[in-house]
Amino acid sequence: MIRSPLMTVMTDAVMKASRSLKRDFGEVENLQVSRKGPGDFVSAADRKAEKILRESLEKARPGYGFILEEGGVVEGTDTSHRWHIDPLDGTTNFLHGLPQFAISVGLERDGQIVAGVIYDPAKDELFIAEKGKGAYLNNRRIRVAARNDIAEAVIACGLPHIGKGDHALWLREAAAVMGYVGGMRRWGAAALDLAYVACGRLDGYWERGLSSWDMAAGILLVREAGGFVSDADGGSDPLTKKTIACGNEIIHRELLALLKKAKG
């Protein structure tokens, strides 16, 4: 496939940042046994990757704004464009030496996400999508899974933890979903959960309490792969609602029905 100039800019920035993350991931394992642990080291790795992404994208597309997980909102002179960036999605995994983490970069133009890149450095998997041009994994076109029996579906989710999320609601939702599906997974990197739905490894996914940088690129990937995406209550704006549910048309619909039942 031939990459557009925009996609080349995005993938170049992401690959550059990924080299730094990958080097740091190699170090993290050595730090597991130290008394202080790898916490500070990982925050530094995260910030370093974000700096590389910001500098590369600013150079190639001056004036675009940013919504950065670490750096916050940066207004640009070009008010129709802004990047949504998670330099390290799956921080807890990274911190524990678990190879399930990614860089996620989405581009918003006039309120719509028009391009997305998610890169998994540990597995060298590059997921890309541009609006109207399909979704790709390492240059191969991807589609959501065709499975339409939820009893055979593998559904991923987020999991609240100490200090985060509505634990009681999650327990009700998990109880509602688990009785109907073939399996549930919690991988710990929202961007990759979405990328995996896009390429058919997962049949569906829901989570509450996400941010735009977790989802922007992944939402476009799923849609360009033929999938359906909404917020976790079935509304049309996951980025604003900060929740998500997705899958192929049938699994998405059934998943929403189960979540609705749980909410009462």
Pairing of strands 64-68, 78-89: parallel
173 binds ligand IPD (CB under 6 A): no
CA angle at 53 for the pair 242 and 62, rounded to the nearest 5°: 95
From edge to edge, which strands make up the β-sheet containing 183-185? 183-185, 154-157, 204-208, 243-247, 228-230
Least CB distance to Ca ion at residue 193 (A)? 11
Q: Using the rule CB under 6 A, which residue among 50, 89, 173, 203 binds ligand IPD? A: 89
**Any idea of the CA torsion for 168, 239, 40, 96, to the nearest 10 degrees?**
60
Handedness of CA 249, 120, 87, 54 (dihedral sign): negative
86 binds Ca ion (CB under 5 A): yes
**Any idea of the CA torsion for 255, 260, 263, 264, to the nearest 10 degrees?**
-140
| Choices 140-148, 205-213, 219-227, 243-251; region in contact with ligand IPD by CB under 6 A | 205-213
141 backbone dihedrals φ, ψ, rounded to 5°: -60, 135
90 binds ligand IPD (CB under 6 A): yes
Using CB under 5 A as the binding rule, the residues of this chain from 209 to 248 that contact Ca ion are 214
Q: Using the rule CB under 6 A, which residue among 106, 121, 188, 218 binds ligand IPD? A: 188
42 binds ligand IPD (CB under 6 A): no
91 binds ligand IPD (CB under 6 A): yes
Task: Choose the one of ligand IPD, Ca ion, none that binds residue 106, judging by a C-beta under 5 to 8 angstroms depending on kind.
Answer: none
Q: Which is nearer to Ca ion, 89 or 207 (CB)?
A: 89
Q: Which is nearer to Ca ion, 88 or 251 (CB)?
A: 88
Task: Choose the one of ligand IPD, Ca ion, none that binds residue 188, judging by a C-beta under 5 to 8 angstroms depending on kind.
Answer: ligand IPD
Checking phi first, is residue 72 left (phi over 0); if not, alpha (psi -120 to 50) or beta?
left
214 binds ligand IPD (CB under 6 A): yes
Pair 85, 68: CB distance under 8 Å: yes
CA angle at 259 for the pair 177 and 243, rounded to the nearest 5°: 115
Residues near ligand IPD (CB under 6 A): 86, 88-91, 158, 188-190, 207, 209-210, 214
Residues that bind Ca ion (CB under 5 A): 69, 86, 88-89, 214
